Amino acid sequence: MNKNIIYIAIAVLVGMLGGWLIFSGSSEASMPSKDASDMSNGHDHSTKDESEMWTCSMHPQIMQPEPGSCPICGMDLIPADNAGEGLMANQIKMTENAMVLAGVETVMVGSGADSGDHVKVSGKVAINQESDAVQSAYFDGRIERIYVNFEGEAVRKGQKMATIYAPALVSAQQELLTAANLKESQPQLYKAVRNKLKLWKLSDAQINEIESSGQVLENFPVYANVGGVISEIMVEEGDYIKTGSPLVKVVNLNSVWAIFDAYENQLRLFKEGQTLEVTTKSYPNQTFPAKVSFVAPTLNKDTRTLEVRAELDNKKGLLKPGMFVQAEVEISGSQDEALTIPESAVLWTGKRSLVYVQPNTSNTVFEMREVELGNLMNGSYVVNAGLTSGDLVVAKGTFTVDAAAQLQGKKSMMNQEGEEMQMGHGGHTKMGSTMKMEFSKEAETKFSELLEVYLNLKDALVASDQEKTQTLAKSAVGMASNISGLQMDDMGKSHISQLEKQLNELATKTSLEGQREVFVPFSENMIQIGQQMQGLDSKLYVQHCPMANNDKGANWLSLEEEIRNPYYGDAMLTCGSVVGTID
């Protein structure tokens, strides 16, 4: 009994001790510590909140340490992505999900052996001016009738083209008939009269016909000196003309020119007598041999390109003047040791060539590098400096990575120093903005109609037509105003409101320079909205000119892949490249 009592007492003591330990610990755990309470009362939310930056979704170059409104567009600022903390100014980190959504792909920098030993250059078909002829009048008179009806009409040598009433020719025919009766007694007079008619380009057969018929022709026929195609009719019936006046222009399209624009770094590739292989989209499976006949002795100071002219045999009539063509130029010497990167990997800023490199495949950190490039070969640039064999370079989604760098205040195309920038209304975001807008179906339909006007407006700027640009801008103001009243989210309303303001400003500009200046942010806004639309009927090409906007570069939208630059028109018509698409 005594032993049992002792065992029970020991068990009770052990139980009490264990209970005290358990409940005492849980009580302490449930009470807030003095330090934690002090931190809560003192509002210490960690250093991360203190370093949080705020940016504008429309103008990511804006960086402020506290929330507020964008100084450019007035939109509410949003928290900037701080994923790049601890990285260098030229590095940017993206999440795996963001990379998948943006379609970011990398390629390894390697040898140029796979790119071939050819360089592609672009150009267009032009009339061979050596076969261009002008049919002129050889005597004064009045156009009685024209027998060619339209430009592009084919004519053969000796075909009647017009009849002319020429008083001097009527008198000369009368002299011929008189001299013909005296040719036995006055042969010298007869010969002189015939020679006079020959100087007016009358043939012996025509002179003999007048002499044998004894009749004077009042309306004299004009025959084609050469065969070909009518390129221009320069007179109308009833016009009075002088000796030497041009009547029509005739071109022989059996031979045409292919005119290419070669860049400075391609000059050594061309020489007279060189053979090129020319291709065109109209006949994708066919090549046309061409022989270089002329290399311009001077560079175009505006485009910094050199004109290279090659002659093409066109007896089958397949090649039409104005048609776009490409040519492959064989490169002499070995290119096996050259490093190459895809054309899509390069960001052009006018003076710099930039790429994004992934230093380590184990994380999604990208590093911006400046590179020196050589020739463009089959869609790939030769790298002269800035990269080494084995580097991983972003080949797709390059603008998306650059946009993410802008949002984090890192070095980018628009921000060389990697610090906050306060830009005026010329500032604009690039493709790949992470903003999201929602539009109703009706709003998307109306935007498609506005997009048609935008494309016509772009074409007007390509043609340097200031009046048409202003007229189109005025007509589009009301369309943008109608869209703003339809169903969409706040982000969409803000951007449509900006469109309306930009169109109003564009409609007031009376100079091409002013219109093109406004067209820069206007196009960026159209691109950003277009990326959010689900029901666009056609594929759109986002094109970029690195020299526009004071060498900062500028984008625009086009239905065609071929470059037609709205910021320079004919001065630099083909300056630019396709940097993205909106499907």
Three-class secondary structure of residue 142 per DSSP: strand
**What is the per-residue pLDDT for 429?**
35
Band (459; pLDDT cuts 50, 70, 90) = very high
More confident residue, 179 or 257: 257
Among the CATH numbers 2.60.40.10, 2.40.420.20, 3.40.50.300, 3.30.2270.10, which is that of 105-117+336-396?
2.40.420.20
Residue located via tokens 């776009």: 324
Residue 569: count other Cβ atoms within 10 Å of its Cβ: 17
Give the tokens for residue 158.
């000796």
- Cα 394 from Cα 409, distance rounded (Å): 20
**What is the per-residue pLDDT for 277?**
86
**What is the per-residue pLDDT for 72?**
56
**What is the per-residue pLDDT for 332?**
56
pTM for the predicted model, two decimal places: 0.39
- Cα 269 from Cα 274, distance rounded (Å): 9
Residue 562: count other Cβ atoms within 10 Å of its Cβ: 14
- Cα 583 from Cα 531, distance rounded (Å): 9
Q: What is the pLDDT of residues 181-236, one digit of tens each?
A: 777 778 888 888 888 888 777 778 878 888 888 777 778 788 888 888 888 888 88
> Average pLDDT of 449-453?
87
Residue 36: count other Cβ atoms within 10 Å of its Cβ: 10
**What is the per-residue pLDDT for 13?**
67
pLDDT at 435 over 70: no
Please check whether residue 565 is in contact with residue 574, taking contact to mean a CB–CB distance below 8 angstroms: yes
Q: Provide the H-helix boundaries in 200-273.
A: 204-213
Q: What is the pLDDT of residues 27-75, one digit of tens each?
A: 444 444 444 444 434 444 444 444 567 776 555 556 677 888 776 556 6
**What is the per-residue pLDDT for 428?**
34
More confident residue, 267 or 61: 267
Band (433; pLDDT cuts 50, 70, 90) = very low
Q: Tell me which DSSP letter residue 209 carries.
A: H
**What is the per-residue pLDDT for 501?**
86
More confident residue, 126 or 407: 126
**Domain 130-251 has what CATH class?**
mainly beta
Instruction: State how far the alpha carbon of 355 is from the alpha carbons of 65, 372, 412, 452, in Å.
Output: 29, 10, 10, 34
**Domain 118-128+253-330 has what CATH class?**
mainly beta
Taking only Cα atoms into account, the Rg of the chain, rounded to an integer number of angstroms, comes to: 38
Band (317; pLDDT cuts 50, 70, 90) = confident
Instruction: State how far the alpha carbon of 542 is from the alpha carbons of 579, 580, 582, in Å.
Output: 6, 5, 7
Q: Tell me which DSSP letter residue 344 carries.
A: G
Instruction: State how far the alpha carbon of 245 is from the alpha carbons of 149, 166, 290, 457, in Å.
Output: 19, 14, 35, 39
